[in-house]
Amino acid sequence: MKVNVIGVPLNLGCDCIGVEQAPNYLRARGLMNIIRKHGHRAFDLGNLYVPPVSETEKFAGGNGLKYLDTIVEVNNNLAELVYDTLRGGAFPLVIGGDHSLGLGSASGVGKCFDDFGIIWLDAHGDINTSETSPSGNIHGMPLSALMGMGHEELVNVYAPGNKVYPQNVFLVGTRSLDEGELHLINREKLSVYPMDAIRKKGIGYVAEDIRAKLKARKIRNIHFSIDVDSIDPHYAPGTGTPVPEGLTPEEFNGFVDSILSTNLVKSMDIVELNPTLDTHDITANLCLDIINHVAAHI
């Protein structure tokens, strides 16, 4: 398979320095060779340009959203690059950077496929809006914007309106949800698999339930967006918003295997590694293990 690796050194969505280093940090530790050893034709498309913004201008876009204009610009550019990659028959592997980039990558997928769904593996819901966000950090809003909810500039990234139907969104591994997110989940009847349910039923049950819903809803294409904070911070300390009681690496790999075995995954994000917060490269090595695992199964 042809794999296009796209780096997005974006830290504005989380408003935390360090996460922008992740794409180059993983490259320096053999990212491309890991993909190629599985027989893929891997191309490094470099890093998207992220314009510098002064911290004094973080609220210049209004509505209490930090760095709105720049994040929208970066996501528009990312969406175009993902769209071009898919149209060229390649697999886009997007390396972040913070999770606000998921708005652009999934928007690019949505332009290619009407019948697509999103699997969002994350400790957080990322479904806040400008009205519900307690922080104004846009990395907590991309998924709601993709469903057509929230600030119009986020909703209209790359194309006007929603990119995915709420019934085609699957949130897995959540264990830190804000009040506004819980309201949205209940209102839209989202498919959410929090960690307490995973502990009761097992990650295998979750994977099978999602697979059944994919089939029932005739979803033929998946964008798989992975935040490393979905994994327990004991195994992945190098991330800006760690939440205890997450997935073990074994649970994570089992779930990823099951989803990849559907042959429906057409694109992926791996986000929120912050090397400056890591301990002896534990999380960086885990990210490389994830990439190795993915490359072995796509």
Say which of 20, 232, 251, 272 is annotated catalytic.
Answer: 272
- List the beta bridge partners of residue 125: none
- Is 229 considered catalytic here? yes
The span from the CA of 211 to the CA of 222, in Å, is: 11
User: Can you list the domains of the chain with their CATH numbers?
Assistant: 2-297 (3.40.800.10)
Say which of 98, 181, 229, 251 is annotated catalytic.
Answer: 229
The span from the CA of 17 to the CA of 260, in Å, is: 32
Write out pLDDT tens, residues 112-122. Answer: 998 999 999 99
- Is 234 considered catalytic here? no
Q: Residue range 222-227: average pLDDT?
A: 98
Write out pLDDT tens, residues 184-203. Answer: 999 999 999 999 999 999 99
- Is 227 considered catalytic here? yes
- Is 126 considered catalytic here? yes
Which amino acid is it at 37? K
Instruction: Using pLDDT thresholds of 50, 70 and 90, give the confidence band for residue 234.
Output: very high
b/e string for 137-161 if b means 16 or more Cβ within 10 A? bbbbbbbbbbbbbbbebbbbbbeee
- Is 124 considered catalytic here? yes
Per-residue model confidence (pLDDT) at position 89: 97
Q: Is the dihedral of CA 163, 165, 168, 169 positive or negative?
A: positive
Per-residue model confidence (pLDDT) at position 61: 86
Say which of 99, 223, 232, 269 is annotated catalytic.
Answer: 99
Per-residue model confidence (pLDDT) at position 91: 98
The model carries a pTM of 0.97
Per-residue model confidence (pLDDT) at position 63: 84
Write out pLDDT tens, residues 79-110. Answer: 999 999 999 999 999 999 999 999 999 999 99
Write out pLDDT tens, residues 25-69. Answer: 999 999 999 999 999 999 999 999 999 999 999 999 888 999 999
Q: Residue range 230-246: average pLDDT?
A: 98
Mean model confidence pLDDT for the chain: 97
Say which of 20, 122, 232, 269 is annotated catalytic.
Answer: 122
Say which of 20, 40, 124, 232 is annotated catalytic.
Answer: 124
Q: What is the DSSP letter of 297?
A: H
Say which of 126, 153, 232, 269 is annotated catalytic.
Answer: 126
Per-residue model confidence (pLDDT) at position 62: 80
- Is 139 considered catalytic here? yes
Residue (of 207, 128, 127) closest to 172 by Cα position = 207
Q: Which residues contact 68 (CB under 8 A, 6 or more apart)?
A: 60, 61, 62, 138, 151, 153, 154
Q: Residue range 165-183: average pLDDT?
A: 98
Q: Does the pLDDT of residue 207 top 90, yes or no?
A: yes
Per-residue model confidence (pLDDT) at position 189: 97
- Is 122 considered catalytic here? yes
The span from the CA of 78 to the CA of 218, in Å, is: 27
3-state secondary structure of 27: helix
Say which of 139, 153, 232, 251 is annotated catalytic.
Answer: 139
Q: Does the pLDDT of residue 13 top 90, yes or no?
A: yes
Say which of 153, 181, 227, 232 is annotated catalytic.
Answer: 227
Q: Residue range 1-12: average pLDDT?
A: 98
- Is 40 considered catalytic here? no
